[in-house]
Amino acid sequence: MIFNNLISRVILLTVMLLSTGIGIFALFHIHREEAHLIAATRQSAELLLTTVGKSIFTSMSMGNSDDVQSILEHVGRNPHLVGLRIFHPDGTILKSSHAAEIGRQASLKDLSLFVNKTGSGVFQVGDESVLGMVKAIETNERCFICHAGGKRIVGVLSLNYSLSDMMAQIAETSTFFLGSTLLVVLLLSVGISFLLIRFVKRPIQKMAAKMSLVEEGDLSVRMTVKYNDEIGVLMNSFNSMVINLEKAQTEIEQYHYHQMARADRLASVGEMVTGLAHEIKNPLAGIGGAITVISDDFDDDDPRKEIVLEVLGQIKRLDKTVNDLLFFGRPGTPEFSLIDINELIKTTLFFSAQHPESKNIHRIRELTKDLPPVCADEKQVQQVLFNVFLNAIQAMPDGGTLQIETDQVRHNNIEFVRIQVIDSGTGISEAELEEIFVPFHTTKTQGTGLGLPICRQLIGQNDGTISVASRVGEGTTVTIELPATLIGANEN
């Protein structure tokens, strides 16, 4: 599983690159050295061949042809020479450093050098590599006494120069370069491995260990930065991340503590309000009944009748406030069913139109056809719609336009039916907009401040959301979104 380790992969790749690079350089150098050695050997062989050729020509010019064999045998004692001979152009050996060869046929390789006019070449003689060279022996005017017929080739001087020393030197050079290559690769691999393990692997392992502690919830861990390199920057980033996580955890814990304390207070307030509402509701009902009986005893033109009716109005207002308190403290459990939102809007809009303040309101419906139904409590959704419609109407005391739109939207791969209630009223300031869902917060003289909080509570119970956007002088838009049930769509 060495390839699963980054450091091992880097070291292996480094060794491969070094070996390849140095190997290519070594091969190039060996090839170049071999070419130089062959060239030097060729020069030595050419010099020897020329010297022998001149000696033979001198002896033959003086008529001492017997000395030619002596010259070949004497020069042939050179340990670098494999063979030195003179053969006829037809290949018959005339003279040779090895007397036993005389009369035999020259080798095809030596003969081909002469026939092809190559002059020289490298080939094998037995198990030995040799440099073969040939030089034609031509007659001149001094030779015409013995060799009639004018200028012609009377023989070919052939020399086979051993390349054993050169091959041994090349082998030694190759061995030296191979050893040097292995040593350099080994030293560089060890050095690179040490650097990677010391300055990369160990710091990363320490960071991994620290991160495990962070995953377990310990946010007090910190990395000690020793060097200002890339790993040091990474460690600083890790420390900054842990510090920010620790701050965020502290803030969340404080926020959670405050929320829990607030929830406890609200629960206590809810229980108190529910109990208080029950204590008020029953006597209030009795007082309302008694005032009603008293009002029946007065004539319509009696001035006391108006006072009694005003008292009854205030009792009804108190009764509504008590009911709101009871509902807010203990909301009912929703009874889910499939609802056609467009039809529910039409019905609720009809009832809201009967309100005395809706006389100068122009109503516009832009209801999208074939909306999928929603699964919710119809009564609770209608209560929310009615409350939102009335708020919009009351925001336009001098008349205006109430526009209701429906549409189908998608959030996080979930389909929703969206309802938008848009009025052209006075609008809501930013400061007030932040407080509209806070219980008991109201800007109306006759309101309890529980209408919108109850609406949010009801919509939340039906897995939906409600939001408000507004600008002063431009009107308000209330958006309600409820999850759609994709089992079909109803015609509008």
Of 309, 330, 351, which residue is a domain's last? Answer: 330
Write the CA distances from 180 to 17, 174, 177, 311, integer angstroms. 16, 10, 5, 113
Percentage of the chain modeled with pLDDT above 70: 83
Other beta carbons within 10 angstroms of residue 140's beta carbon come to 11
Residue 210 within any structural domain of the chain: no
For residues 173 and 30, the answer to whether their CB atoms sit within 8 Å is yes
Looking at 116-125, 126-135, 141-150, 477-486, which range is the least confident one? Answer: 141-150
> Do 156 and 20 lie in a common domain?
yes
Q: Domain holding 310: CATH number?
A: 1.10.287
**What is the pLDDT of the chain when averaged over all its residues?**
80
Residues ≥6 apart with Cβ < 8 Å to 213: 221
Is residue 256 included in any domain, yes or no? yes
Query: Residue 160 forms beta bridges with which residues?
Result: 83, 132
Rounded CA-CA distance 278/316 in Å is 15
Are the beta carbons of 18 and 188 closer than 8 angstroms?
yes
Q: Flag whether pLDDT at 320 surpasses 70.
A: no
Type of residue at 103: G
The residue ranking higher by pLDDT, 220 or 143, is: 220
Mean pLDDT over residues 55-71, rounded? 75
Pull the structure tokens for residue 331: 């909301």
Name the pLDDT band for 263 (thresholds 50, 70, 90).
low
- Domain final position from 131, 153, 170: 170
Same-domain status, 344 and 324 = no
pLDDT > 50? residue 491: no
Q: Is the pLDDT of residue 372 over 60?
A: yes
228-236 average pLDDT score: 83
Q: Is the pLDDT of residue 252 over 50?
A: yes
Sequence-distant (6+) residues with CB within 8 A of 484 are 371, 372, 373, 374, 408, 415, 416, 417
**pTM (2 d.p.):** 0.41
Cα separation of 453 and 437, whole Å? 5
Residues 322 and 357 in one domain: no
Query: Which structure tokens are listed for 168?
Result: 């041994």
* Residues 14 and 116 grouped into a single domain: yes
Q: Are residues 322 and 435 in the same domain?
A: no
Instruction: Compute the CA torsion angle 417, 423, 427, 430 (nearest 10 deg).
Output: 10
Whole-number pLDDT of residue 490 = 43
Q: Which of 271, 303, 330 is the last residue of a domain?
A: 330
What is the total count of domains within the chain?
A: 3
- Higher confidence at residue 271 or residue 202? 202
- pLDDT value at residue 343: 92
CA distance 60 to 483: 121
Does the pLDDT at position 488 exceed 50?
Answer: no
Residue range 211-240: average pLDDT?
Answer: 84
Within this chain, do residues 20 and 155 fall inside the same structural domain, yes or no? Answer: yes
- Residue 32's domain is classified under what CATH number? 3.30.450.20
Same domain, 69 and 148: yes
Give, rounded to a whole angstrom, the gap between the first and last alpha carbons of the chain: 66
Q: How many residues in total does the chain contain?
A: 492
**Residue predicted with more confidence, 243 or 488:** 243
**Residue 152 maps to a domain:** yes
Are residues 294 and 348 both part of a single domain? no
> Residue ranges of the alpha helices (H) in 99-201?
108-115, 164-196
State how far the Cα of 95 lies from the Cα of 56, in Å rounded to an integer: 11
Mean pLDDT in residue range 196-216: 83
Cβ–Cβ under 8 Å, residues 342 and 492: yes
Task: Map tokens 């319509």 to a residue.
Answer: 300
At 73, give phi and psi (nearest 5°): -65, -40
Furthest-apart CA pair in the chain: how many Å? 181
Give me the CATH number covering residue 350. 3.30.565.10
Element (H, E) at 160: strand 153-162
| Range 61-71 average pLDDT | 74
Q: Do 476 and 415 meet the contact criterion of CB atoms below 8 Å apart?
A: no
Kindly report which listed range (237-251, 280-294, 385-399, 452-466) carries the lowest average pLDDT score. Answer: 280-294
pLDDT digits (tens, 9 = 90+) for 332-358: 677 889 999 999 999 888 878 877 788
Distance CA 403, CA 388 (A): 12
Residue 141's pLDDT band, with cuts at 50, 70 and 90, is low
Residue 187 lies in a domain: no
Query: For residue 440, what are the CA distances in angstroms to 51, 431, 454?
Result: 127, 16, 11
Q: What's the pLDDT at 423?
A: 92
In which order are the strands placed within the sheet that holds 414-423?
Answer: 361-367, 400-411, 414-423, 475-483, 465-471
Residue 371 per-residue DSSP state: P
| Greater model confidence, 260 or 90 | 90
Domain identity same for 143 and 22:
yes
In a domain, 233, yes or no: yes
Could you list the residue range(s) of the whole structural domain that residue 296 is in? Answer: 219-330
Assign 445 to helix, strand or coil: coil
- The helix (run of H) or strand (run of E) holding residue 39 is helix 6-61
239/354 same-domain check? no
The answer on 371 and 302 residing in a single domain is no
| Of 360, 346, 435, nearest in space to 395 by CA | 360
70 pLDDT higher than 70: yes
**pLDDT recorded at residue 325:** 60
- For 177, the token pair is 């370069």
pLDDT value at 282 more than 60: yes
Overall average pLDDT of the 179-190 stretch = 83
Range 18-45 average pLDDT: 82
184 in any annotated domain:
no
Same structural domain, 460 and 323: no
Q: Is 491 a member of any domain?
A: no
Domain assignment present for residue 27? The answer is: yes
Q: Is the predicted pLDDT of residue 144 greater than 60, yes or no? A: no
- Residue identified by tokens 């030619």 is 68
403 contacts 472 by C-beta, under 8 angstroms: no
Q: Which residues contact 428 (CB under 8 A, 6 or more apart)?
A: 436, 468, 470, 472, 476
Per-residue pLDDT, averaged over 192-207, amounts to 82
